[in-house]
Amino acid sequence: MREWEQEVPLIIERGKGSTLIDTEGRQYLDGTSSIWVNLHGHRHPALDRAIKKQLGKIAHSTLLGLSSPPAIQLARELIRIAPKGLARVFYSDNGSTAVEVALKMAVQYWQQRHPEAGHKHTFLHLKLAYHGDTLGAVSVGNIELFHSRFKPLLFPTLEAEPPYCYRCPLTLTYPSCQMACVDPIEQILKTRHHQLAGFVIEPLIQAAAGMLIQPAGYLKRIRELCTKHNVLLIVDEVATGFGRTGKMFACQHEGITPDLMAISKGLTGGYMPLAATLTTEEIYKAFLGKYEEFKTFFHGHSYTGNPLGCAVALANLEVFRSEKTIERLRPKMKALSQLLKPFCDLPHVGDIRQQGLMVGIELVRDKKTKEPYPLKARIGHRVAAAARNRGLLLRPLGNIIVLLPPLSVSRDELARMVEILHNSIETLPAD
């Protein structure tokens, strides 16, 4: 915070497409989609119209005992595009709360639907996980820098090593390892399933962990193990949802349906805070009962199902259809892969990880030994500062540079972003 106070602040006043404009009139390419939320660019006409049209009706009314046309219509649309089997929608207001909802639903489900299963009230998750900043979400997270000081406030969980192929904790090599990292997870599920309400995971890629990509088949195997051992699979699609990985939802790459799915970020195309937790009819039925049984889900937010957010979310989904956003991503993803190849020759680049338009570039002090830079070197910050001077805004994760442009980015803009990033990494001195 002291350093933040000493730096000259950048105040963004306007935006258009993939470009942000500050109060001095300087333009910057939005290399992080304004922290992973913007999909179709800033000031998209259809999204602007949706907000204005809804404002002519009502900005907000509670969803506690009431509803609104946009909330109803959006729930129907989400079920239509979600993995098959997800049939119910519970609204909240951000990714953390969507995860909190899933955790609480899972615990209450076992109590009310299958009390014979016993006290299933804890969760399994991957190390290096990030699922949000509220305390339940932090409890199923494992990023020491973010979470360690809050441990006295957290509930106990079980953890398993993630598939971090560049720095494999088992010192094995993919694919000859045959996904040995799944074996400890299988053992935990086999021996501790009676305690576990659910397994919480980001599907396909652990985003805030540094864009750690799971091997093909990993997610499907996790689904099979959760089913076998009677543990709910909870997927956090907050970062991976809405086209980021090349499909609408990352789960769809491996054809799996989770028991609960948390979504937010891209839900409104980057316009309004809105989130939802999707679940199955089986889980929904656990909350049905007579009034005096109090089986209802006692959880709610003042702005749950906010009509403005739901209206712009509907427009966001319509843009996906009308502009064929997913189909148009494929050539951009291929182009990005080609543009990233020269980074392999940079002495500071240890690993390049890409899934769709999500990219993580891990910077290392020694390429041969994979020795990381010490945190105090602020390597990621230095690269981001150099990129900002060249007209590209980034937000690194420690030593990992994240590039996550809007889905609407043009090929020329993508090439310019990558060029600036390459040049910015080149500014690092030889160690």
pLDDT at 431: 63
DSSP element (H, E) containing 236: strand 232-236
Cβ contact 142:129 at 8 Å: yes
Surface-to-core class of residue 249, CB atoms within 10 Å of its CB (0-12 exposed, 13-18 middle, 19+ buried): buried
> How many Cα atoms within 13 Å fall on the side-chain side of residue 241?
26
Bridge partners for 160 per DSSP:
126
For the stretch 313-346, what's the b/e string if a residue is b when 16 or more beta carbons lie within 10 angstroms of its beta carbon?
A: bbbbbebbeeeebbeebeebbeebeebbeebeeb
> How many Cα atoms within 13 Å fall on the side-chain side of residue 140?
27
Q: By three-state DSSP, how is residue 395 classified?
A: coil
Q: What's the DSSP call for residue 221?
A: H
pLDDT at 148: 87
All structural domains of the chain: 2-30+326-426 (3.90.1150.10), 49-322 (3.40.640.10)
Give Cβ neighbours of residue 431 (< 8 Å, ≥ 6 apart). 365, 366
Residue 71, number of CB atoms within 10 A of its CB: 25
| SS3 labels along 38-62 | CCCCECCHHHHHHHHHHHCCCCCCC
For the chain, report the end-to-end CA distance as a whole number of angstroms: 28
pLDDT at 184: 97
Q: What is the CA radius of gyration of the chain?
A: 22
pLDDT at 158: 98
Give Cβ neighbours of residue 396 (< 8 Å, ≥ 6 apart). 380, 381, 383, 384, 402
* In 193-306, alpha helices (H): 218-228, 281-285
Q: Which residues in the chain land under pLDDT 70?
A: 431
d(CA 418, CA 373): 22
